[in-house]
Amino acid sequence: MDKKRVKDYMTYDVVTVNVNETARDVIDYIQKTRHDGFPVINDQKRVLGYISARDLLTVHPETPVDRIMSRHLIVADPEMSVNDAARVIFRSGIQKLPVVDEENRLIGIISNADVIRSQIEHVSPEKVYNFMDTLRRLYNIEPSLERGYVPINNLLPTQPRIYEDELEGRMYEIKKGLAEPLIVVRRPGRFILVDGHHRAIAAKRLGYKTLDAYIINVTEKIELGMERTAQAQNLKTLDDIKVMDYARHPLVAVTHRLVRQS
C-alpha cells in the first residue's frame, strides 16, 4: 500500500557548505538563499554534518565550519518510504533530512514541507477501491466490500515491523475514537491485514478484541501474493511483528557513524 519513496519527493538541487569553509561563508549562503541551514560535505560530496544559523550566533566569522557543525546528523536512503521519513522528521524535531547513497554521498534532501505534500496526496477515500481494482487485475476475480468489525487475534499480518513512536500515536487515536478503519481481505478462516498494522497492535495493547475495518471479501480458491509474503516472513499472528524505535530503521543512519566506517 505504501509505494511512495523519499526519492520521489526529495529536492535534488541542494545548497551545501564545504567542510573547509568558514562561518563567514555560511552567513553569505544564508543571505543569498534565505535558507537557515545546510548539509556539510567534503570534496567527495560525502556528508559530514549539518550547520544552521543558530550555530553561528556566538562564533567568530573566521571560525572553520568543521569546528561548529553538528556531526550527529540523521541521514536517509532514497528508497526509504515517505511515511518513515515523516516519522523521523517529526518525532526527532528536525526540519530537513539529507539523503545519501551507499557511500554517504549527498544526492538530495527531504524536508517537512516535502513530507506534508506527500501526505496530502496520500490521503484519499479511494484507497480501498484502488486496492480492490488491483486484485481484479492481478487475479481476475471480483471481490466485494463491506464495513464491519474484525477479530484482532485472527488477523494475518503482512508487515514484519512497526515503530514504537507511531504505535503510541495510534493508541492515542484509538482512545479518542479517531482511528481510521483497517483494510483487510477476508479469506476462509482468517483476515489478511492489508493496511493498519500499527492500529492493530495498538488496539491489542489496549485490550481491544475487535476493530472497525473495510472488509474485502475474496471467495475464489486462490493464493494471494500477500499470503505468500506472510508465509515467507514467518508471519502468523500480530505477535510476530517486531516493534522498533524509529532511529533503528535500516535506511536511517547517523553521519558520525558513517564517516567512521568510510
Question: Which CATH number describes the domain made up of 124-245?
Answer: 3.90.1530.10
Amino acid at the residue 28? D
Asked if 199 contacts 178 with a C-beta cutoff of 8 angstroms, the reply is no
Domain with CATH 3.10.580.10 in the chain: 6-120
Look at residue 1 in the predicted model and tell me its pLDDT: 43
* 196 has a pLDDT exceeding 50: yes
Domain with CATH 3.90.1530.10 in the chain: 124-245
Q: CA 237 → CA 4, 20, 155, 158, 174, distances in Å?
A: 26, 53, 6, 10, 21
pLDDT band at 81 (very low <50, low <70, confident <90, very high): confident
pTM: 0.56
